[in-house]
Each structure stands twice: as C-alpha cells, then as structure tokens.
C-alpha cells in the first residue's frame, strides 16, 4: 500500500449490521462499544475490536512516519527502513549475532570512508576509491555469511500466518499480518521484537533492490516520470514534492547509521499505533502487550513537519518530451483530509471523474472519443497535510493533450456555474457508502481504518462520524468548493508530449 487511508473507507462493520438492524434502528454507539483502547506507559496506543465470527486475528502496526519525514540527503529513507524491518532482530535472522554485528561494524566503517571519498568529487583520490570498493565488497560478503535469510517470513508462514507485508506513503508506514487466534502471543513477541532490537542486516544489498524499484517504477515508466516531475512543480517548499522512493543519488548513498537514526527518531512507542481486530479478548491483548510491548523504551513523539506550502501565485506547468503516448495531468491545491471542505471536494471528484457515469468519462471517452482513459482524484499525494485534487487523461490516437485539457477545464467550469441535481447528489453519496461493501468481512481493512483515523484525527471514534460528514454535503457545498479551489492561479499542469524516436 503506497497511499494514505481514504475518508470514504469508513465503516464496513456498520453496513454489515445495517443488514440486520435496518438503517433507522441502528445505534452507532453500540458499535463503538465493541472497540477497546488503552495506552501503555511508554506511549503505545493499542485499539482492539472483537469479532468472533472466525478464529483469526488481523494485526496492524501504524508508524506515523512517511517520506515527508526523510532527512535531507536521504530522500526515501522511510521507505528503505520499511524494507529493513523484515530483516530480523538480534535473535531472529542470524547464525551468530555477536560475530555478525562485529562484521556489520566493519562494513559500515569501510562504506562511510568510501562515501566520504566519493563526495569529494573532482578532488577524490581514484586509487583510494578503487581500494575501498574492493574492501567494501569483501566486508559485505563477510557479514552476509552470518545471515539467515527471510527468517521472519518463514516463522510467520510456519505458524499459520498470512499477508505479512508493509507499505510506505508520504504520511505513513504500515505493517500488517494475519494469524490464527491462538497465535496472539507469537505476534506480540515477533512484532514488538522487531521494533525493539532490529538489526539492519543486508542493508547495502537491499539498497540495490530499492534502486531497482526506482528504475522500474519511475525511471523506466512514463507515468512515474510524469508524476514525479508534476509533484516537484506542485510543491516547491513542502516535502510532498519529493518522491517516496527517493532520488537515485540518495539511495546509492544510504548508510546504516542514517537508517538507525531514522528508526530511533520515528519508531518510538509514542509514534506507533497498533490495531487488532478479530477473535480476541481485550484483556488478553492488554496482558500480553504489557509483557512484550512495554519493553520498548519511551521517547517523545517527533513533531509534525513545520513547512507550509506557500500560496501559489500563478499556474505552473511542466512538459516532458517522451516516446510514450500523450499523458495529461492537472491538479489544484486543496486542504488536508481533516478539513471541513474535504467531504465536498471528495463528492466533487466523484461527480467529475470517477467511474463511467462521471462528467469527464462521458465527455472525453464516450462522446468525443478524444481520450482512452480519464479519471479524477483527491488527496494526492497525501492527506496529513494540504495536497491536491486533480485529473489525468490519456489521449486517443490522433488526439492531443491540448484537446483533453480544453474539455477537462470546460467540465470543471460547469461545476462552478451549475448546481448538481439532488438526484446526482444522492447517487454520489450512495456510491460512497457502497464502496464499503467490499470490506464487510475484512478484519484487516477495519484495523487499518481504526489505526488511520487514530493517527490522522487523534481519535479512532471519528471513523464512526464519517458517515455524518458524507450525508451533510449539499449541492451548494460542492459548487462553493469548485469556485474556491478550481482556479487558474491554484492550478498545476503536467503532460507528456510524444517525441518521435
């Protein structure tokens, strides 16, 4: 998962109960009572929801850190640490931890010396670099001899666990897995240990994996290149303009001490939220959490990013010349996900460009046939801070980005001049609620939402208020936000124009 939790993923369990109790008789307070929360002395917040339909439990560990928190010179480091969190601990993933740590120290020492010499540029000693590169390769190979690869994943699989994974976004890093209900203590031991005693083993090897990920998703991908350039133009001050995966030169110069520093700063218990949903009793969770998670020492949670993107003074544009087909992208700056205008903006996006009945699809794809695909979005690249509402289009053969732009702007202007009908508004709200159905039986989906609302809103209970925010949206509200945000001055445009090979 690479993006933040959306406000429309609200309450799958609500709908499940609605089928039983009926809309008019449903009491949200009863559902809230099925959730238990407690906070350990070290600051760790744990949220538990009992669902005893099946003997399984889903676990989510939400770290309130994303690529916006990467230090200068180490862009993408939060994403890199996500990879490192699967490499084991002092007791898991090693043949001999003392010997391994000794060799890791040698590996770090040689790499830092090599890095320092390379940074001298034209003043660097090429003979010294050649010598250090050989020593670095030898140190890497030596430390890897003591690694037991993928031991964490093997233990999880052997004990009946599934879905071991993680994801990094601009605002978050989330770790999740699912276990049979009789493996609650095993999860407590494994998950707490990897944030208590992580060993960032194989880091320089994994750094090459991340570099290849960047090549595949960005450098060799027209969409990736365009979106990266687009965000860099849209955000000149705020770190939303920096790619999650990081810049290649930074990736190639990651050091283990820097990654350790990122961990120490952002993986304190006070900056973590755990959500547990399934066949579990809160009293058992609390008892085991005191045993395992309480071992993590308290550290104060880091502050939010202080940088505020300044108001845009005029339209910004970036044009790439590329052999790929034409791709068009436009965005307007909008507030963060907790802002009162966001439900209206989300409704606007639904009506403008989500699905085959949207304005953009009917106009550009079905009627004029100038685009093969078109869609709108909100909350990109994140929701924690002010971000973007936008649309993208892929021009059909024989048509241009300029044609797509003309029609997209035309439909955006309609939202300012014409009120959405009550019938269309009802459909928008119905689609927002219907999108929840796919998560009705997903413990993991519920856990992600509880943790996400706790982090973004400071209270998981807001999850149970989100339906009210959707229902409160009016046609006037949608017109108001269209006039307020969909302006030329507030607009960013990016496109790929086809370049002949």
Check which CATH number belongs to the domain holding 477 and give it. 3.30.830.10
Omega within 30 of 0 (cis) for the link into 406:
no
Claim to verify: residue 287 and residue 324 sit in the same structural domain? no
Claim to verify: residue 335 and residue 378 sit in the same structural domain? yes
- Scored b (16 or more CB within 10 A) or e, 183-201 reads bbebbbbbbbbbbbebbbb
Claim to verify: residue 264 and residue 176 sit in the same structural domain? yes
Cα(55)–Cα(275) distance, rounded to whole angstroms? 17
| pLDDT at residue number 499 | 84
Inside any domain, residue 77: yes
Per the rule left: phi > 0, alpha: psi between -120 and 50, beta: everything else, 304 is: beta
Cα(63)–Cα(70) distance, rounded to whole angstroms? 14
| pLDDT at residue number 439 | 52
Boundary (domain end) residue, out of 295, 329, 351 = 295
Cα(464)–Cα(157) distance, rounded to whole angstroms? 34
Inside any domain, residue 163: yes
Claim to verify: residue 258 and residue 363 sit in the same structural domain? no
| pLDDT at residue number 501 | 62
Distances (CA, A) of 70 to 242, 319, 351, 447, 451: 9, 27, 36, 26, 22
Claim to verify: residue 347 and residue 277 sit in the same structural domain? no
Encoding tokens for residue 123? 């003043």
| pLDDT at residue number 467 | 80
Boundary (domain end) residue, out of 232, 262, 295 = 295
- Kindly give the residue spans of alpha helices, DSSP state H, lying in 215-309: 222-234, 248-251, 256-266, 282-292
Domain that holds residue 325: 316-445+456-498
Claim to verify: residue 185 and residue 252 sit in the same structural domain? yes
Q: Where are the beta strands (DSSP E) in 118-193?
A: 162-168, 173-180
Largest Cα span, the chain? 79
The gap from C-alpha 264 to its chain's centroid, in whole angstroms, comes to 20
Inside any domain, residue 244: yes
How many CA atoms within 13 Å lie on the side-chain side of 253? 16
The parts of the chain modelled with pLDDT lower than 50 are 1-27, 440
Claim to verify: residue 274 and residue 224 sit in the same structural domain? yes
| pLDDT at residue number 29 | 64
Claim to verify: residue 375 and residue 408 sit in the same structural domain? yes
| pLDDT at residue number 13 | 37
| pLDDT at residue number 430 | 85
Inside any domain, residue 116: no
Inside any domain, residue 13: no
Say what the pTM is: 0.91
Query: What is the helix (H) or strand (E) element at residue 94, kind and residue range?
Result: none
Cα(346)–Cα(410) distance, rounded to whole angstroms? 19
- Scored b (16 or more CB within 10 A) or e, 316-341 reads bebebebebebbbbbbbbbbbbeeeb
Inside any domain, residue 104: no
Q: Is 168 helix (H, G, I), strand (E, B) or coil?
A: strand
Task: List CB contacts of 495: < 8 A, sequence separation 6 or more.
Answer: 226, 318, 319, 320, 326, 327, 328, 329, 401, 405
Claim to verify: residue 335 and residue 478 sit in the same structural domain? yes
Claim to verify: residue 402 and residue 281 sit in the same structural domain? no
Boundary (domain end) residue, out of 237, 266, 295 = 295
| pLDDT at residue number 211 | 97
- Scored b (16 or more CB within 10 A) or e, 283-302 reads eebeebbeebbeebeebeee
Mind listing the pLDDT tens digit for each residue in 288-343? 999 999 999 999 999 999 999 999 999 999 999 999 899 999 999 999 999 999 99
Claim to verify: residue 232 and residue 352 sit in the same structural domain? no
Claim to verify: residue 46 and residue 85 sit in the same structural domain? yes
| Domains held by the chain: number | 2
């Amino acid at each position: 998962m690479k993006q933040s939790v959306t406000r429309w993923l609200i309450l799958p369990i609500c709908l499940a109960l609605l089928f039983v109790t009926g809309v008019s008789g449903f009491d949200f307070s009863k559902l809230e009572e099925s959730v238990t929360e407690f906070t350990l002395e070290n600051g760790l917040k744990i949220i538990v929801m009992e669902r005893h339909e099946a003997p399984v439990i889903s676990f989510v560990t939400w770290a309130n850190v994303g690529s916006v928190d990467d230090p200068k010179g180490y862009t993408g480091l939060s994403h890199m640490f996500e990879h490192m969190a699967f490499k084991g601990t002092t007791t898991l993933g090693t043949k001999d931890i003392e010997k391994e740590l000794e060799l890791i120290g040698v590996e770090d020492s040689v790499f830092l010396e090599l890095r320092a010499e390379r940074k001298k540029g034209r003043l660097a000693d090429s003979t010294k670099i050649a010598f250090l590169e050989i020593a670095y390769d030898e140190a890497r190979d030596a430390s890897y001899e003591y690694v037991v690869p993928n031991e964490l994943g093997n233990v999880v699989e052997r004990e009946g666990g599934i879905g071991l994974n993680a994801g990094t976004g601009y605002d978050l890093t989330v770790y999740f897995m699912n276990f049979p209900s009789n493996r609650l203590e095993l999860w407590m031991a494994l998950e707490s240990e990897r944030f208590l005693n992580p060993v960032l083993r194989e880091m320089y090897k994994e750094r090459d994996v991340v570099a290849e990920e960047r090549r595949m998703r960005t450098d060799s991908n027209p969409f990736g290149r365009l979106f990266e350039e687009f965000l860099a133009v849209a955000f000149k001050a705020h770190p939303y303009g920096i790619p999650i995966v990081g810049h290649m030169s930074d990736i190639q110069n990651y050091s283990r001490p820097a990654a350790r520093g990122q961990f120490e700063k952002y993986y304190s218990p006070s900056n973590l939220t755990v959500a547990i949903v399934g066949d579990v009793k809160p009293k058992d969770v609390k008892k085991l959490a005191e045993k395992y998670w309480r071992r993590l020492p308290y550290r104060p949670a880091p502050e939010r990013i202080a940088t505020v993107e300044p108001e845009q003074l005029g339209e910004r544009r970036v044009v790439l010349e590329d052999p790929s087909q034409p791709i068009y992208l436009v965005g307007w700056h909008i507030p963060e996900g907790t802002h009162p205008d966001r439900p209206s903006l989300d409704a606007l996006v639904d009506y403008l460009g989500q699905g085959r009945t949207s304005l953009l699809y009917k106009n550009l794809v079905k009627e004029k046939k100038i685009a093969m695909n078109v869609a709108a979005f909100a909350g990109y690249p994140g929701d924690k801070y002010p971000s973007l509402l936008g649309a993208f289009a892929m021009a059909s053969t024989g048509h241009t980005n300029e044609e797509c732009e003309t029609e997209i702007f035309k439909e955006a202007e309609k939202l300012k001049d014409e009120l959405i009908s009550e019938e269309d508004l009802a459909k928008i709200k119905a689609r927002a609620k219907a999108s929840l159905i796919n998560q009705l039986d997903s413990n993991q989906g519920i856990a992600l939402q509880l943790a996400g609302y706790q982090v973004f809103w400071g209270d998981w209970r807001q999850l149970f208020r989100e339906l009210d925010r959707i229902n409160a949206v009016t046609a006037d509200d949608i017109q108001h936000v269209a006039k307020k945000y969909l302006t030329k001055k507030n607009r960013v445009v990016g496109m790929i124009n086809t370049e002949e090979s």
